[in-house]
Each structure stands twice: as structure tokens, then as C-alpha cells.
Amino acid sequence: MATADIQVPSHHKAIVYDKPGEISTKIETIETPKPGVGEVLINLTHSGVCHSDQAVMCNRWAWLPAPTQAGQVGGHEGVGTVVAFGDGAEASGLKLGQRVGIKWMASACLNCLACMSGRDACCPSGKISGFYTPGTFQQYALGPANYVTPIPDGLSSEMAAPLLCGGVTVYAGLKKTLAQPGDTIVIPGAGGGLGHLAVQIGKGMGYRIIAIDNGDKEDFVRGLGAEEFFDITKYSKDKEGNKKLADDVKAASSEGLGAAGVVMCTASNAAYAQALGFLKFGGTLVCVGIPEGEPVPIGGADPASMLVQELRIVGSAVGNRKDAIETMKMAARGIVKTQFTVEPMSKLTSTFEAMDKMQLKGRVVIDLSKE
């Protein structure tokens, strides 16, 4: 192990889920690990706080293989600097002091079918940060040198942290529409955590963005670059309302034919039921938001309509390593920004409480240098 001249302490502060199943976190002092073969030790300075962390802490996702263990260090949107290399890790080309990020998929095997097809975020032996591995709500964490995300100069760590998750997720979703520059993309939930990033990144990719959300989000979303906005509250929540919204979206789309893609940035079953109606021939619905509770099939996805219009429905889980690198580069160029407030470690529990009551405006980023 090479540590050069960077001092690494024997212990550091970490925020753990002390009572999994409920909203509760606790700051503890834990032993700082040594990097193993191919690993780097990262002195984390910032971590975003995500709804997925809350779901893991509160055991809200039945699809995870086991309940969360007490003492788990959560977090998966971490940025910091490389402070030590394990054996062989320097071959990655990373340098001591270089900034890197840890995202949701903290490591992947790089050898399975998913990894080899560029879908390493779905690697069955991949490790989810803050669930399978100690996450980013701590001052020091390990990561594979060949899998952490380099953070470009000119992008602040506070800004980079939440973009490692939401930004990467919507960027990968937008790519999966296979749309061309100039095509129309519809973003349901455009004013939300994922949606507001999708509007900016989609615009940066050359798409014309049609945004859908509650009317009070209109100014915000148009300010981010959406060309058209539809207020969902102005449409009845039935077949007739869905048809009227679909007609309006189509009329506003390129050539009035409908959208090349819908990137679903809400977790609403009602929104999924509307989405196929927005598409033009050969269009793609990308499922990104995950509805909670009992799964409901996507409305309108009957074989005849799918076949006649050759529509596609695809899922998109986070994004791969390349998507993460590309998203960071876009952010460094100023194409996408996220609103955030910075809080000390002791504010994590109250952040989750505010999140649970839907009171958060923008993202919270934890400053891991402040207790």
C-alpha cells in the first residue's frame, strides 16, 4: 500500500443507520479501512442525500435481497480525494489528491453479461453503495480504482455529489430513447428531483423538451429550458383527460407527430398510464421513476397499439460508468446545475425527516468535514 505523504487517520466519523426500519441516524467513530488490491481509499468531503438512501434506511424496497442491518453506513453520492492506493491500484492512472466520486453502483464485476454490454449498473454481483458496502455518509471510504468516477476540474464537489446519482440516471434514460437532436422528448415530473435535471441535460443533448408537472412548477421548469409546459392539474384523471393531454402534447411536438421519447421522472402510476399516448411512431417510453407499493402494469400497453406504432418500452437503472463520466463532463461545462443546500453531518436525520414530509427544496449535500 502506498500512502505517499498524505496522512490517513486510524479512525474517522461515519453516520450509521442505528435503527433500520425508521428514520434515525447516528454519528459514530469507526476504524478507517486500508485499501485492498485494486482499491483506493477516498477522503470524502461531500455526500448527497437521496430518496434511495431513505428507502434503504426504512426498508421500503421489497426488491432488495435483505433488510438493512443496524450500523450500516448509508449514502451513495460521495465525492472526495484519493488518499491511498491498494496494491496495483496505481495502474488505474488515478493520482493521489485527485477528486473522484462513488455512486449508487459502487463496484461491478466488469465480466458478466450486464457489464460486458455496458450495463454495469445492473451487474448482479455489483455492490450498492450504502447497502452492500459502507457508503458515503462517512469521511473515508474505499472504492475500486478502476470504477470510481473521476470528477473534472471546474465542477465543485457539492454540485458533483448529487449529479452522480440523479444526473447520471436521467442522462442514461435520455440516451435510451435513441432520439436524435431536434426530436421532442417529454419529461413527466419535470419540476422534481430527477425531472429538473432531465430538462437541462435533455436540452444540452439537443432535444426539444416538453415538460409536464403541476402548474406551480411552470416558471421554474421553463427557466431550465423546457420549450412547452403542460399543467397536469388542468386535465381530468380519466381516459378523456389522458386523451386530451396526449393530443395537446402531440400538437406541441416536432411536426405535430408526437414525441420520440418519454423519460418518466415521476413514480406515479397515473403518469405511466398516460405516457404511451405522447409517442410518435417508433417512439420509446423509458421507465425511470419506480412507483411504490404493488406493481401496476403500464396502462395502454396493449399488443395491438404497441405493434401498429412499433413503440418500445425500456427500463433504465441509474447509468453505467461511462454515463457517469459523461454527466460529470457536461456538468463541468455548466450544462446542468442542481439546487442544493449544504448541511453538517448532524443534520442527516432532520434532512430525512423533511424529505419524508416532502418539505425539501432541492438537494441536501452533507459536508463531511463538519460534525
> Contact residues for Zn ion (CB under 5 A)?
50, 52, 108-109, 112, 115, 123, 165
User: Judged by CB, which is closer to Zn ion: 76, or 176?
Assistant: 76
The SS3 assignment for 41 reads: strand
Compute the chain's Rg from CA coordinates: 21
User: Judged by CB, which is closer to Zn ion: 89, or 108?
Assistant: 108
User: Secondary structure of 7-40 in the HEC alphabet?
Assistant: CCCCEEEEEEECCCCCCCCEEEEEECCCCCCCEE
User: Judged by CB, which is closer to Zn ion: 53, or 183?
Assistant: 53
Give min distance, CB of 61 to Zn ion, in A.
13
Using alpha carbons only, what angle is made at residue 98 by residues 156 and 144, rounded to the nearest 5 degrees? 110
CB 257 within 8 A of CB 281: yes
List Cβ<8 Å contacts ≥24 apart for 115-122: 118/320, 118/322, 119/317, 119/320, 120/320, 120/321, 121/172, 121/317, 121/318, 121/319, 121/320, 122/317
Give min distance, CB of 169 to Zn ion, in A.
8
User: Judged by CB, which is closer to Zn ion: 101, or 300?
Assistant: 101
Give min distance, CB of 325 to Zn ion, in A.
17
Give min distance, CB of 338 to Zn ion, in A.
12
User: Judged by CB, which is closer to Zn ion: 108, or 252?
Assistant: 108
Give min distance, CB of 371 to Zn ion, in A.
23
User: Judged by CB, which is closer to Zn ion: 108, or 186?
Assistant: 108
CB 337 within 8 A of CB 189: no
Give min distance, CB of 162 to Zn ion, in A.
7
Share of the chain residues as helix, strand and coil, in percent rounded to the nearest 5: 30, 25, 40
